[in-house]
Amino acid sequence: MTIRNLLTVLIAVAWLSPAAVSHAQAAARHKMIIAHRGASGYLPEHTLPAKAMAYAMGADFLEQDVVLSKDGIPMVLHDHQLDAVTDVATRFPGRQRADQRFYVIDFTLAELKTLRVTERFHVRHNFGQPVYPKRFPMGKSSFQISTLEEELQMIQGLNQSTGRDVGLSVEIKRPAWHRKQGQDISTGVLEVLARYGYKNKNDHFHLQCFEFPEIKRIRNELGFQGAIFQCLGDKVAADGTDHEFLKTAEGLAELAKFADGIAPAVKHVVTGDKESGLKFSNLIKLAHERGLKVFPYTCRADELPPCAATLEELFDLLLIRADADGVFTDFPDRGAAFVRSHEEAKHP
Ligand code: CA
């Protein structure tokens, strides 16, 4: 047994001993509600109104997915393509690539600002149909794409005017793809964050990324001192991230050298249904034993997994029964209400 392995075992034993962390201490931890793309269950995702609504609904963190414009500006958008949430196809006909998709990185900030954002719609099968039909109607009102900087100014402004301290959850999207296009997204994002005072673990924010090689680079080469979460998917991704390995005890130990937490999918934590039986994985236990926090994604009232009949049931499975540290949800009002009622029940 190497010294490192021995240390890992000793740390794990210490962590598991009742003296190290009592159940009461663990239960007393505040469960974090991360507004997934803002209050995206109610307003078009990643627009400033969706972020303001999530803020007012009591989210602990607001999420920003970030991609780069042609002129290297970090923009808050989930996809590296524009066509599923904007009118780009009618505004800029002919600007699509061979795959018929319109890429954010092919448009300047000035061009992106002319686009209207709408509720997400299908761009392949069921073209033009809303992905979530009961949400905000498509093509109504007026919404814009915003830069990361504009969103940080709004959140910091609200933190000043309300006296609250709502945090950022910044996902760096597709760093390997951006590099192939000749752009370094991580450096661009870290520069904006640092300029607004988000630098280390005392600052109220964390980064997220699906690409483990990039997380290592952000720590080792870019010298990032803040918190960072590894997002978990399935299989081996094109960027080299082995998502199956990262969910094992050995993989989580490797992750813990660089990351502070993981963001697994709901199905990585709990599967099955009430009739055939719920099945909890040991992922959260293994992650907690290695000092990693866990924030499963994504809790949606209108896209529930078979394990839960209501959104509140899903919150209960993840936050209480599986002991996740927080969740990503499109419905931050219901997440915040769930956490509040649970905390009040414990401390009436
Ligand atoms: Ca995200």
The one catalytic residue in 23, 30, 36, 206 is 36
pLDDT above 90 (res 10): no
In a domain, 112, yes or no: no
In a domain, 13, yes or no: no
Measured in Å, residue 275 CA sits from the centre of ligand 1 at 32
Q: What is the pLDDT of residue 221?
A: 98
Query: Is 36 in the active site?
Result: yes
In a domain, 274, yes or no: yes
Measured in Å, residue 220 CA sits from the centre of ligand 1 at 23
Q: What gap in Å lies between CA 199 and CA 288, rounded to an integer? A: 24
Confidence of residue 7 (pLDDT cuts 50, 70, 90): very low
Measured in Å, residue 182 CA sits from the centre of ligand 1 at 23
pLDDT above 70 (res 155): yes
| Backbone phi, psi, residue 98, to 5° | -60, -30
Over range 133-141, report the average pLDDT. 97
pLDDT digits (tens, 9 = 90+) for 286-307: 999 999 999 999 999 999 999 9
Peptide bond into 2 cis (omega under 30): no
Q: What is the pLDDT of residue 25?
A: 52
> Which of 328, 337, 341, 342 is CA-nearest to residue 33?
328
Query: Is 78 in the active site?
Result: yes
Q: What gap in Å lies between CA 117 and CA 46, rounded to an integer? A: 9
In a domain, 330, yes or no: yes
Confidence of residue 316 (pLDDT cuts 50, 70, 90): very high
In a domain, 302, yes or no: yes
The one catalytic residue in 23, 30, 46, 78 is 78
Measured in Å, residue 63 CA sits from the centre of ligand 1 at 7
Measured in Å, residue 6 CA sits from the centre of ligand 1 at 36
In a domain, 222, yes or no: yes
Q: Which residues span the domain enclosing 34? A: 23-77+146-346
> 3-state DSSP helix/strand/coil percent for the chain, to nearest 5?
35, 20, 45
Number of domains present in the structure of the chain: 1
In a domain, 14, yes or no: no
Task: DSSP letter for 104, please.
Answer: G
Measured in Å, residue 87 CA sits from the centre of ligand 1 at 22
Confidence of residue 3 (pLDDT cuts 50, 70, 90): low
Measured in Å, residue 14 CA sits from the centre of ligand 1 at 34
pLDDT above 70 (res 21): no
Decide if 251 contacts 215 (C-beta within 8 A): no
Q: What gap in Å lies between CA 331 and CA 337, rounded to an integer? A: 10
pLDDT above 60 (res 219): yes
Q: 61-68 and 32-35: which strand pairing?
A: parallel
| 235-245 b/e (C-beta count within 10 Å ≥ 16 → b) | eeeebebebee
pLDDT digits (tens, 9 = 90+) for 44-86: 999 999 999 999 999 999 999 999 999 999 999 999 999 999 9
Measured in Å, residue 20 CA sits from the centre of ligand 1 at 33
Task: Enumerate residues 6+ apart whose C-beta is below 8 A from 239.
Answer: 175, 176, 210, 211, 213, 214
Q: Give the percent of the chain with pLDDT over 70.
A: 92
Measured in Å, residue 276 CA sits from the centre of ligand 1 at 31
CATH of the domain at 258: 3.20.20.190
Over range 266-271, report the average pLDDT. 98
In a domain, 52, yes or no: yes
pLDDT digits (tens, 9 = 90+) for 171-192: 999 999 999 999 999 999 999 9
